Structure formats: structure tokens, C-alpha cells
């Protein structure tokens, strides 16, 4: 390596793609440079990241762990990463929740009682879960019965990758008529 800066950049490149902590020996071998130079550059990188942004540090930090070096999210930014991971990889829905969601999507607006009648089980907790996940919403209260009527949300359409409920596959002929589930 010609300069410290190019060695530093090469080390950053290796650390960026590494799935596990990289030892100084591994980095030195990959870059064909002496171990003492790698150690000095790692310490310089660590200092650079920690002192960036007027001493508050970058959003990540370089740590020596498990016999090697690795990038970590700086602890003050963990909350943002948790939010991203939760949104990108939402917890999977149970079979009961998926079935209830399908009934609501195809038969909305629909009451809890109507959903229970179709599914043959109590759906109160499942509907609460779907509401808390933002996939279902209470549309209105039926003036005649006082029942809350539920429907799907824009988030559900987004998650399914469709623009409207009309794009759902045609399975509604297999569901009972609205009048028979009163």
C-alpha cells in the first residue's frame, strides 16, 4: 500500500463486508501489509470514528471483540436500527391472524361477530392484534346493531403490493354470503 489513507480505506472496505470480526492477522494477510501497520490504522480509524461530528462520533463505531475488529451501531442509535428492523422484517402473523385478515379483506366492512361466524372461533384477540399492527381499522359503528365494522388499511395494501382490494385473487365465491352470516 502506497499511503496510510489507502491502507485505511482498504481496511474499511474489508470491515464493511465482513460478517464476523476480522483479526489483525487476517486483515494484514488479505492486504499483504505488516501486522503493526494494520494495528496502527485500526486504532487510528477507531479514534477517527469516535471523535467525528465534534466528538459525538459517527453513527457506527469500530470495536475489538472476539479476537477481531468489527463495525457496530453506536449505542445511542440502537433505537433507529430496531425500528428499521421491525419495519423491514415484521413479525409473522399466526395462521388465525392470516385467516381473519383474509375474511376482513374480502368481506369488509364486517363485524367481529360476522368474522367469528365465518371462522367458527372467537376472533377478539386476533382482531386487536391486526389493529395494533395497522393492518385493520374500525371503519364505523353500525347504527342498527351497534357493532364495530372493520376493514383493511392502506398499510395492508402496501404490504400485499397491491393498489386496491379489487386486485385480490378471486376467492370470495368460496366464502358464505354476507346475508347468511348476519
Domain 95-181 in the same topology as domain 4-83: yes
d(CA 91, CA 135): 13
Query: 4-83 adopts what CATH topology?
Result: Arc Repressor Mutant, subunit A (1.10.10)
Domain ranges of the chain: 4-83, 95-181
Helix (H, G, I), strand (E, B) or coil at 10: helix
Residue with cell 436500527: 81
Q: What is the DSSP letter of 3?
A: S
Name which of 124, 140, 120 is nearest 132 in CA terms.
124
pTM score above 0.75: no
pLDDT by residue for the chain (182 residues), tens digit each? 445 679 999 999 999 998 889 999 999 999 999 999 999 999 999 999 999 999 899 999 999 987 899 998 898 888 888 887 777 666 788 899 999 999 999 999 999 999 999 999 999 999 999 998 889 999 999 999 999 999 999 988 888 888 888 888 887 566 666 566 55
111 contacts 148 by C-beta, under 8 angstroms:
yes
Q: How far is the CA of 142 from the CAs of 107, 123, 138, 147, 148, in angstroms? A: 15, 18, 11, 5, 6
Determine whether domain 95-181 maps to CATH 3.90.1150.10. no
Amino acid at each position: 500500500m502506497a499511503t496510510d489513507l489507502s491502507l485505511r480505506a482498504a481496511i474499511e472496505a474489508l470491515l464493511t463486508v465482513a460478517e464476523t470480526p476480522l483479526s489483525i492477522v487476517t486483515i494484514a494477510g488479505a492486504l499483504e501489509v505488516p501486522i503493526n501497520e494494520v494495528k496502527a490504522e485500526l486504532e487510528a480509524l477507531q479514534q477517527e470514528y469516535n471523535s467525528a461530528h465534534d466528538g459525538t462520533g459517527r453513527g457506527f463505531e469500530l470495536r475489538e471483540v472476539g479476537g477481531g475488529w468489527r463495525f457496530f451501531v453506536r449505542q445511542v442509535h440502537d433505537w433507529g436500527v430496531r425500528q428499521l428492523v421491525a419495519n423491514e422484517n415484521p413479525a409473522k402473523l399466526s395462521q388465525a391472524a392470516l385467516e381473519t385478515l383474509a375474511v376482513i379483506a374480502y368481506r369488509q366492512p364486517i363485524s367481529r361477530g360476522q368474522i367469528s361466524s365465518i371462522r367458527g372461533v372467537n376472533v377478539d384477540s386476533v382482531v386487536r392484534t391486526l389493529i395494533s399492527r395497522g393492518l385493520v381499522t374500525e371503519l364505523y359503528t353500525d347504527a342498527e346493531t351497534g357493532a364495530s365494522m372493520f376493514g383493511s388499511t392502506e398499510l395492508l395494501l402496501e404490504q400485499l403490493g397491491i393498489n386496491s382490494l379489487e386486485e385480490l385473487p378471486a376467492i370470495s365465491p368460496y366464502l358464505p354470503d354476507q346475508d347468511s352470516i348476519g
